[in-house]
Amino acid sequence: MELSGKVAIITGVSKGIGRATADALLAKGAVVAGWGRSAPEGLTHERFQFFECDIRDETSVQEACMNTRRELGAEIHVLVNNAGIGNFGPVDGFSSEDWHAMFDTNVHGLFYCTKAVLPYMKQQHEGHIVNVGSLAGTAGTANLAGYCATKYAVRGFSDALFKEVRPDGVRVTCIMPGSVETNFNGANPGEEPNPHMMQPEDIAAAIVHALEAPFSVMISEVQMRPTQPK
């Protein structure tokens, strides 16, 4: 897809992979709608607009979609389902509230956003949905049972979705990173980058690569790992 002039929605845009992806898509000439509970600090660009949205609330998602189309045009070409949270701990000591919070964001929110934009992508016979999963969706890890469960769900959803919508000209990509240096892992922006972890910009570059593939090509899954983890 040629990204210049295309409308791209990114969830969880305030920091980390979401913010890096917004920067990368803006650099490619895209018009970016950032959905989130808080706006990214210092991101002022003529082709960027922030829409307050709690993806855990389907009504909030529907309103954000309506507002995006009103402000940026009726067509939506890209959706990057990036928003996600991780709560860790042993299953028998895990709070049900933390469990539900992860599924509400990582799984249900992703479904609400996808459901909202899909009819427009089908009408256009053009669209690309990128779901940010995790290598935690490929192998279980002790004390990450809940998080792994949500990311297995993201991978399964992505795999089923691409088979469902490919006849409509809509592509689906599941990006599954390993260790990324973001606030998610407790890292503070501004510190020296950790050479043993990937950076948010690395994931954003992979997303752009998948989006820019020729229409005849769908990169359905991408697994990403640090070359020399510590």
Output the six-digit token pair for 52. Answer: 């307050």
Q: What is the pLDDT of residues 106-139, one digit of tens each?
A: 999 999 999 999 999 999 999 999 999 999 999 9
Per the CB < 8 A criterion, the answer to whether 118 and 48 are in contact is no
User: Catalytic amino acids?
Assistant: 147
Average pLDDT of each block of 10 consecutive residues along the chain (230 residues)? 97 96 98 96 96 98 98 98 96 97 98 98 98 96 96 98 98 94 57 82 98 97 93
Please check whether residue 229 lies inside any domain of the structure.
no
Per the CB < 8 A criterion, the answer to whether 55 and 109 are in contact is yes
- Given CA atoms 211, 208, 55, 53 in this order, what sign does their dihedral have? negative
Please check whether residue 230 lies inside any domain of the structure.
no
Please check whether residue 78 lies inside any domain of the structure.
yes
pLDDT given for residue 89 in this prediction: 96
pLDDT given for residue 191 in this prediction: 60
Please check whether residue 39 lies inside any domain of the structure.
yes
pLDDT given for residue 183 in this prediction: 59
Please check whether residue 55 lies inside any domain of the structure.
yes
Please check whether residue 1 lies inside any domain of the structure.
no
Please check whether residue 100 lies inside any domain of the structure.
yes
CA–CA distance from 192 to each of 11, 181, 195, 199, 224 (Å)?
26, 10, 9, 11, 21
Full-model pTM: 0.95
Please report, for the domain that includes residue 49, its CATH number. 3.40.50.720
Domains in the chain, number: 1
**Percentage with pLDDT > 90 across the chain:** 90
Cα angle for residues 154, 156, 162 (degrees, 5° grid): 95
Please check whether residue 147 lies inside any domain of the structure.
yes
**Residue range of the domain that includes 144:** 7-224
